Structure 1
Amino acid sequence: MQSACPNGSADVTGRIASLPLFHKAAGTRIVVVGEGPMADAKRRLVERAGAMAVGEAEAHHATLAFVALEDPGEAAAVRQRLKAKGLLVNVADKPDLCDFTTPSILDRDPLLIAIGTGGASAGLAKHVRLRLEAILPQTLGALARALAEGRDRLRAALPDGDARRRAVDAALRRGGMLDPLEDASAERVTGWLANPATDAPARLETVTLTSDDPEDLTLRQARWLGEADAIYHDAGIAPAILARARADAQRHPLDEAPAAPSEGFALILRRG
């Protein structure tokens, strides 16, 4: 579920409105204030995360709180008391009183996909999740567990961190041995671990951009941005385009671009 607590939306500079985090709550106490369907939904969410829903009297044991009260004045007063005790507070349906939002959740345990709109529209987040539910196979969880169980074997086969990342990227990309959208991928992990580097050849691709709008990227271009280990780009490439790249991808000026593949996946971005 998602509380309506907007913090704005991403702008063309590539900034994001909220910092998305997964908070480990198992074994902790989280304050939930209120009664009725809205408060009950918050308690179910808290318990689903392995935490204990407690009242305001136990706020000194908690770091997070949900307030689900219909009366605006009462909700603001409770929030103020909880804030004074150092808690981060979500006030249901009170956008200006929220420190954090709760996204719509797609659960493929241990893979968890959180879809947020910064509180702009809980309905939109829900329907995006429902579309993804129809696309993403239930076996994604099994694939994630198999990869976790094989982590030590992968490190033994490929001690170099960059080599491991390239091998995993190659295996998980569309059509790869471990394509996440194929039901049988989880069953292939053991075979892949026997020689994970075979699917990770050096690559060099070039994209010529015709627009500064990331919405104009083709599916292939967007995928390459998300996969590339290194990006060589014109100084004038829009920040919103570069924001689609992996956060840990190395960035280089265009004049340093290689002439041929050497190692990993290098992507050249030019303006049209």
Structure 2
Amino acid sequence: MIDTLPLFHRIKGQPVIVLGEGDAADAKSRLVLRAGGHVIADAAKGIAQSARLAFVAYEDRAAAADEAEKLRGAGLLVNVVDQPDLCDFTTPSILDRSPVLIAVGTGGVSAGLAKQLRLRLEALLPEGLGALAQALGAARTMLRRRFPDAADRRRALDVALGQGGMLDPLDDSSAGRVDAFLAGATLPDETLAEIVLTSLDPDDLTLRQARWLGGADGIAVEEGVPDAVLARARADAIRVKIARGQGFEAPGGVWVVVRR
């Protein structure tokens, strides 16, 4: 269960209200400008220009809460700086490998923790990650021709982008191998794996089991498997309920059977 839904909001060329003065307001203004938005420092003007987002950086909590309520009543989503309980959304710490963006958030409870996690990830992710994304984007038409079925495309890419794969995203030279991947890409074998849970705690999954869940096209789930375990699977994976002890014949692709 997550408390907030992470989204990437396009604001390029759009008005965004930023109210307040000082370092906090300046930081939010820079964030808006970095994403291509237009900073509007007047609430009425921003509402008239159909702004959809607003930042309120007032030191006085009561004044900030009052302003937030007015903006919310006008249909805007509001962020009140350093007041997570007054926020409709929070802003994460951003790792930029454009067009790849990794947002690290803590729901507003610890910006310092989010920053330190982002700095650790900065050291892990190569600068060429953005170039790999651009190359894959340019190859979308060719990839669709080679694999017309969306599930087949996903399976081929899962193998190529996996650890040690031809397009491993942690390998800084992967972007230069996209053409070679397209020329020789084949579908991996269809597989069916079974996970028998040793406990109901998802942290007790082995690394292999976690990879199976994260990469499966479909999951057959026995009664009693907790949602916390299934949250480790892809959100778009097909899910089928099965009775305790029931066999399962995978319809094709990569499937995982999860049993109590």
TM-score (norm 2): 0.93
SS at match of 1:194: helix
Given candidates 93, 102, 121, the residue that maps to 2:110 is: 121
SS at match of 1:197: coil
Structure-to-structure mapping, 1:71-150, within 5 angstroms = 71-150=60-139
TM-superposition CA deviations, 1:154-203 (whole Å, max 9, x none): 001111111111111111111211111111211111100113225x2212
TM-superposition CA deviations, 1:20-43 (whole Å, max 9, x none): 111111010000001111110000
Given candidates 36, 40, 44, the residue that maps to 1:57 is: 44
Equivalent pair of 2:84/2:90 in contact (CA under 8 Å): no
Given candidates 31, 36, 41, the residue that maps to 2:22 is: 36
Given candidates 176, 179, 183, the residue that maps to 1:187 is: 176
Cα deviation, residue 266, structure 1: 1.2
TM-superposition CA deviations, 1:212-249 (whole Å, max 9, x none): 11122222222221110011222111110001111111
Q: Residues of 1 paired with 2:23 and 2:236: CA distance?
A: 42
SS at match of 2:236: coil
TM-score (norm 1): 0.89
Aligned residues: 254
Structure-to-structure mapping, 1:95-244, within 5 angstroms = 95-198=84-187, 200-244=188-232
Q: Residues of 2 paired with 1:186 and 1:267: CA distance?
A: 31
Q: Which residue is 2:235 aligned to?
A: 247
Q: Residues of 2 paired with 1:95 and 1:106: CA distance?
A: 22
Q: Residues of 2 paired with 1:68 and 1:157: CA distance?
A: 51
Q: Which residue is 2:34 aligned to?
A: 48
SS at match of 2:141: helix
Q: Which residue is 1:257 aligned to?
A: 248
Q: Residues of 1 paired with 2:241 and 2:71: CA distance?
A: 49
SS at match of 2:186: helix
Cα deviation, residue 141, structure 1: 0.6
Kindly provide the amino acid, as one letter, of the partner of residue 66 in structure 2: A
RMSD: 1.5
SS at match of 2:5: coil
Q: Tell me, which stretches of 5 or more residues in structure 1 are unaligned? A: 1-14
Q: Residues of 1 paired with 2:171 and 2:251: CA distance?
A: 30
Structure 1, 42-51 or 76-85: larger mean CA deviation: 76-85
Q: Which residue is 1:11 aligned to?
A: none
Kindly provide the amino acid, as one letter, of the partner of residue 65 in structure 2: A
Structure 1, 42-51 or 209-218: larger mean CA deviation: 209-218
Cα deviation, residue 262, structure 1: 6.5
Cα deviation, residue 107, structure 1: 0.8
- Percent of aligned pairs with the same amino acid: 56
Kindly provide the amino acid, as one letter, of the partner of residue 257 in structure 1: F
Kindly provide the amino acid, as one letter, of the partner of residue 162 in structure 2: R
Cα deviation, residue 59, structure 1: 2.2
Kindly provide the amino acid, as one letter, of the partner of residue 119 in structure 1: G
